[in-house]
Amino acid sequence: MAAEREPPPLGEGEQTDFRELEDGDDLFTSTVSTLESSPSSPEPASLPAEDISTKSNGPKAAELLLDDDREDLFAEATEEVSLDSPEREPILSPEPTPAITPVTPTALVMPRVDSHTMSIPSMFDRNQEEIEEEENGDMFDIQISVSDPEKVGDGMNAYMAYKVTTKTSLSMFSKNEFSVKRRFSDFLGLHSKLATKYMHIGYIVPPVPEKSIVGMTKVKVGKEDPSSAEFVEKRRSALERFLERTVKHPTLLQDPDLRQFLENSELPRAVSTQALSGAGILRMVNKAADAVNKMTIKMNESDAWFEEKQQQFENLDQQLRKLHTSVEALVCHRKELSANTAAFAKSAAMLGNSEDHTALSRALSQLAEVEEKIDQLHQEQAYADFYLFSELLSDYIRLISAVKGVFDQRIKCWQKWQDAQATLQKKREAEAKLQYANKPDKLQQAKEEIREWEAKVQQGERDFEQISKTIRKEVGRFERERVKDFKSVIVKYLESLVQTQQQVHLNLLPFCA
């Protein structure tokens, strides 16, 4: 029946907003988000809000690294670009000039600097070819696997160590294949760093699994039961997906913390995450979002795209949650089916033993064997239901949470800009008053303050435009990934169902023979 409701022919990415994002070009642009084209760009009207000249590389970069105050970061920009409001279509920038190495923007983009984790990225040696490779749509040659969960230590101080293996041909890594041991709090630490660095400027950081006191306690206590094995497997799988999604993201891939996580044999223990979970980080980063929501002044949205998208994500969130609930019920019932089939199989075997008619006794024993095999199949299917279908949905529910967070960050950014404008206005009024008060030093100070706040207003506007641009790109990327992900998982899931049915069929045949 669905066939009659053929959706309008929608090629991929046919939405006007994202047409440009089909090309790999934009991916690279996102990497150099703050470095977009030099003033010699042929399309002056579509220049990005930010422009950091080549002069800001090198030593300046180092200076900036230690600067805690984000606002001053871009004050160093010596070249000003016309601040036309960004057009609907995301900007297509040409190839960046070779002098601009991709790494620097990352450094610039990270405003909140934990000096102890800051390391000068060694990505200066990334060459143009690699960059081009990456332009071709998230096809970075890097594969991550999380495997071999191992219990380390005893009692309540015990923890699970996971082996994180990276296979890559990217030259930003020192080797082609390497592995390290990481524990869960290391992953939480990495996620927290990435979220803190990138979410407030509009990047969607993939979600990390939640802490689970119940789950981990069982493991620590050393219960070797199937439920704790399941818990560890669920976690391992989720951690793997977290890393896989993170390295697929062109900007996050270049983050030094990520590289350190993947490469360094020893990591400083992420203590602060003991109290924080993935959701906790999101909450922290989005703290301002609550303040924003409580504001009576609604943002003057000049760009309907954001409103539409927000609504769309809200709907998607609701629908995914409903579907997730149904699938969880399915997993539960399928597990029950498996258990009940196993119980029946045992009962049928006993009945067969009890049966005094030889042929019937044999038939009942056969039935019992068949049912036993079928119960195994049901259990495997329940795993597929869960690991393929259910986990995909819960990943996306968390991802959408991150997306919503990023939208809220934009509102916060806008508010900051508005506040700067209000302050500037006040300063101007104050200066005007002082004009007639004959207090030259105060007047001088007022004039300085005005200059300061003018710069802040400009910065605020630039930031807002930048975050808007980044979000558009990120959303485009998210949508593409979502379509890809769902398609591939749906097909895998259906194949698992086929597999199960074929096995059931095979097992039933001899009974009828």
Partner 1 sequence: MRSVSVDLNIDPSLQIDIPDALSERDKVKFTVRTKTTLPVFQKPEFLVTRQHEDFIWLHDTLVETEEYAGYIIPPAPPKPDFDAPREKMQKLGEGEGSMTKEEFLKMKQELEAEYLAVFKKTVAVHEVFLQRLTSHPAFSRDHNFQVFLEYDQDLSVRRKNAKEMFGGFFKSMVKSADEVLISGIKEVDDFFDQEKTFLVDYYNKIKDSTAKADRMTRSHKNVANDYIHVSACLCSLAIEESTALKKYLLSLAELFEKLRKVEGRVSSDEDLKLSELLRYYMRDIQAAKDLLYRRARSLADYENSNKALDKARLKSKDVQQAEKQQQDCCEKFELLSKSAKQELTSFKGRRVSAFRKNLIEMTELEIKHAKNNISLLQGCICLLKN
- For partner 1, the binding residues (CB under 8 A) are 1-3, 5, 7, 10-12, 15, 312, 315-316, 319-320, 322-323, 326-327, 329-330, 333-334, 336-337, 340-341, 343-344, 347-348, 350-351, 354-357, 359-360, 363-364, 367, 479, 482-483, 486-487, 490-491, 494-495, 497-498, 501-502, 504-505, 508-509, 511-512
Closest by CA to 509, choosing from 398, 378, 374, is 374
Report which secondary-structure segment, H or E, holds 448. helix 440-512
With b for 16 or more beta-carbon neighbours within 10 A and e for fewer, the 139-160 pattern comes to ebebebbbeebeeeeeeeeebb
Cβ pair 295, 399 in contact under 8 A = no
Residue (83 or 497) nearer to partner 1, CB: 497
Q: Which residue, 437 or 498, is less far from partner 1 as judged by CB?
A: 498
Rg (CA), the chain: 28
Q: Tell me whether residue 229 or residue 342 sits nearer to partner 1 (CB atom).
A: 342
User: Looking at beta carbons only, is 49 or 400 nearer to partner 1?
Assistant: 400
Q: How far is the CB of 14 from partner 1 (least distance, A)?
A: 9
Query: Can you read off the two tokens belonging to residue 26?
Result: 């934009």
- Answer for the pair 408, 283: CB distance below 8 angstroms, yes or no: no
- 146: which 2 tokens? 């999380």
> How near is the Cβ of 3 to partner 1 at its closest, in Å?
8
The nearest distance, CB 379 to partner 1, in angstroms, is 12
Shortest Å, Cβ 5 to partner 1:
7
Q: Which is nearer to partner 1, 60 or 378 (CB)?
A: 378
> Residue 410 CB, nearest distance to partner 1 (Å)?
22
How many Å from the N-terminal Cα to the C-terminal Cα in the chain?
38
CB count within 10 Å of CB 330 equals 16
Q: Which is nearer to partner 1, 60 or 404 (CB)?
A: 404
Type of residue numbered 153: G
Q: How far apart are CA 291 and CA 412, in angstroms?
A: 9
Q: What Å distances lie between residue 237 and 23, 122, 146, 234, 394, CA to CA?
A: 31, 30, 7, 5, 13
Nearer to partner 1, 124 or 511 (CB): 511
Distance CA 449, CA 459 (A): 15
Taking the least distance from each CB to partner 1, the nearer of 228 and 338 is 338
Give the residue among 225, 367, 196, 403 at the shortest CA–CA distance from 284. Answer: 196
Least Å distance, CB 481 to partner 1, is: 11
The residue (of 274 and 502) whose beta carbon lies closer to partner 1 is: 502
Are 219 and 225 within 8 A, CB to CB? no
d(C-alpha 76, C-alpha 55), whole Å: 10
Nearer to partner 1, 170 or 330 (CB): 330
d(CA 96, CA 83): 20
279 or 316, CB closer to partner 1? 316
Find the shortest distance in angstroms from Cβ 504 to partner 1. Answer: 5
The CB-of-7 to partner 1 minimum distance in angstroms stands at 5
Please provide the DSSP assignment of 325-370 as one string.
Answer: HHHHHHHHHHHHHHHHHHHHHHHHHHHHHH--SHHHHHHHHHHHHH
* Residue 295 amino acid letter: M
For the purposes of burial, counting CB atoms within 10 Å of the CB of 396, is it exposed (0-12), middle (13-18) or buried (19 or more)? buried
Shortest Cβ 202–partner 1 spacing (Å): 21
Q: Beta partners for 159?
A: 152
**Least distance (Å) between residue 20 CB and partner 1:** 16
Q: How far is the CB of 356 from partner 1 (least distance, A)?
A: 5
